[in-house]
Structure 1
Amino acid sequence: MRRVGVIRNSGIRDIAAEAVIVAAGGRAILLQLADPAVAAGVARHSDFVAAPLRRLTGTLDYVYLVVFGTAAERAAARRHVERAHTPVRSEPGESPDYAADDARLQLWVAATLYDSAMTMHDLVLRPLDPGAAERVYREYAVLGTALGMPAELWPATTTDFRSWWDERIATLVVSEEARGVARDLLHPRPPGAPLWLRAVMPLARLITTGLLDERIRRQFGLPWSPWRQRILDAVLGSTRIVWPIIPAGLRHAPAISSLRRHRRRRA
């Protein structure tokens, strides 16, 4: 079915609220891991095997608080991330050199979240008009600046971003550490993985793998084929048809649930 028209007067809240964007979360995480410094920090300072959803849910909670939260909630989200990131740094002489508070790594993480969100948005929802696309792009910088990334690191326009992104993708070399973390993420094992998670993982693996750049996909050693592409096309095509008729409360459920959970904890 051909999509017609464009979405006007849109902002980051309109994009981030849609639950379908969460389906691109695996892509964002694997792209983050494709930077060897990020992969080293994650592999040496986290527990993907024991808690395979922790990074995804933690990232989503951060995004929702920064995008939809009050000033106090945004500050709390920043403090929480800063506390978690404080010990994530390499030892003297360790290779690769990394630190979670490195502004250029913050830029890369924010960029993967933006690019993955817009990739899924453009595949499932109507396209943004040029003005809205630029506005959404500028607003997405907050995912980095909220952590202290200098605003000037964010490329000025979508055209600048695309040139920077294509060059960045072309130079990434996926490390063995990254492949190990990716295996734990895409193939969660008991006792850390609940039954419902293992049930949805085949679809999650299909979407995550299919949305990756072919070069990155090969480096991760993820299988792909024409029949997998046909299944992915069918899934996305069905979602394009169904998504507009789903009630807003369901389409926005992850954001609503995340904010409510955060506010209950603080209360």
Structure 2
Amino acid sequence: MVRGLADMGAESILLAGAGRAILLQIADPAVGHGVAEHSTFAKRPLDRLGGTLTYVYAVVYGTEEQLTAVRRRVNRAHAPVRRAADETSGGYNAFDPESQLWVAATLYDTAVTILEKIYGPLDDETAALVYLDYAKLGTALQLPEELWPENREAFRRYWDGRLQALRADEAAVDVGRGLLYPQGTALWYRTIMPFARFMTAGLLPDQLREDFGLAWSPRHERWFDRTMRFLAVFYPRLPQRIRHCVKNYCLGQLGTA
């Protein structure tokens, strides 16, 4: 049976790619500088993650009222995130469609990367449907539909071109270190961060892994491969109520589970 984002987007295992998606996003200066200068993200990473997840789940699973509420919340947060270009900055604007395209692209590519490591390669029909569904994460805000690459082949050209030139600058690295080595957060959160850093490093492109100072070696690679093989066996056997618990919690916070 063909499955799209509505069938697969609720899987909590997608959180394994959260660090990858965020670091890819902030490596783009137009995103990273806005986050560095306007966000307390590094000090409150769980709030930012919760806000992103709630938005995604509202777009995919929420009622029209829930979607309107989260869209209003996101736009309100984005409104002050702007700066004109000058001699020290290329400038940024959180409403910029190209920046929103990049953020949506990182969420899509990361989700597919995780899903295929856990469930194996998606068949063509499922992959095409998931791809089209992911455009909604951008078009629910200011991303014009025509800006989302028309198919997966066009997306791959866009993605590979962006990655080829993508390097994390000082502002991105500072934000990234705040995320990867949090201070003043709950003990349980700091406890899981070594594993989160390991997973993030394993999923990142080589140049960004280096930019963000994440250690990697053939030994790390072997352990990462073993971890993903274990998760591919273990995770799909979990009850759905556990696999979908994060989605149900976030929607519950909006008023319905």
Please indicate the TM-score interval, normalised by the length of the shorter structure.
over 0.9
- Which residue number corresponds to residue 148 of structure 1? 142
Residue in 1 aligned with 2:246? 254
Task: Read off the aligned partner of 2:140 and give its amino acid letter.
Answer: A
What is the match of residue 255 of structure 2?
A: 263
Letter in 2 for 1:105: S
Structure 2 match to 1:29: 22
2:193 — aligned with what? 201
Q: RMSD of the alignment, in Å?
A: 1.3
Whole-angstrom distance in 2 between the partners of 1:114 and 1:134: 12
Q: Paired residue for 1:233?
A: 225
CA offsets per residue over residues 183-240 of structure 1, 9 Å max, x none? 00010112xx100001110110001111001122122222111111122112111111
Q: Which amino acid aligns with 1:139?
A: D
Q: Judging changes above 3 Å, is the alpha-carbon distance between structure 1 residues 49 and 150 closer, same or farther for their aligned structure 2 residues? A: closer
Residues 5-24 of structure 1: pairs in structure 2 closer than 5 A: 8-24=1-17
Partner of 1:64: 57
Stretch of structure 1 that moved more, 92-101 or 102-111: 92-101
- Structure 2 residue runs of 5 or longer lacking an equivalent are none
CA distance in 2, matches of 1:215, 1:84: 31
Partner of 1:76: 69
* Shift, 1:107, TM fit: 0.3
The alpha-carbon deviation at position 32 of structure 1 amounts to 0.1
1:263 counterpart SS class: coil
Aligned residues: 255
1:170-249 correspondence runs (5 A): 170-190=164-184, 193-249=185-241
The reply to whether residue 162 of structure 1 matches residue 149 of structure 2 is: no
- Report the Cα distance in structure 1 between the residues aligned to 2:19 and 2:43, rounded to whole angstroms: 17
Q: Deviations over 1:222-264 (max 9, x none)?
A: 2111111122112111111111210000000000000001217
- How many Å apart are 1:91 and its aligned residue? 4.5
Taking the aligned partners of 1:85 and 1:137, their CA distance within structure 2 comes to 25
C-alpha distance in 1 between matches for 2:254 and 2:65: 12
Q: Give the conservation status (yes or no) of the 8 Å contact 2:33–2:171.
A: yes
Letter in 2 for 1:257: Y
Structure 1 unpaired stretches of 5+: 1-7
Report the counterpart of residue 48 of structure 2 in structure 1: 55
CA deviations over 1:143-163 (Å, ceiling 9, x no partner): 000002100010011111011
Question: Is the CA contact 1:45–1:88 (under 8 Å) kept in the aligned structure 2?
Answer: yes
Whole-Å separation in 1 of the counterparts to 2:85 and 2:237: 55
Aligned position for 1:116 = 110
Q: Give yes or no for contact 2:173–2:212 (8 Å, CA) kept in 1.
A: yes
Q: Is this contact kept in 2: 1:107–1:153, CA < 8 A?
A: yes
Q: Partners in 2 of 1:102 and 1:55 — Cα distance? A: 20
| 2: CA distance, partners of 1:221 / 1:206 | 12
Code of the residue aligned with 1:209 in structure 2: it is: A
- Report the CA distance shift for 1:196/1:138 in structure 2 as closer, same or farther (over 3 A): same
Paired residues of 1:40 and 1:96 also in contact (CA < 8 A): no
Q: C-alpha displacement at 1:35, in angstroms? A: 0.1
Report the 3-state secondary structure (helix = DSSP H, G, I; strand = E; otherwise coil) of the residue aligned with 1:155: coil
Identity %: 47
1:24-43 CA-to-partner distances (Å, cap 9, x unmatched) read 01100000011011110000
Q: Quote how far apart the aligned CAs of 1:47 are.
A: 1.2
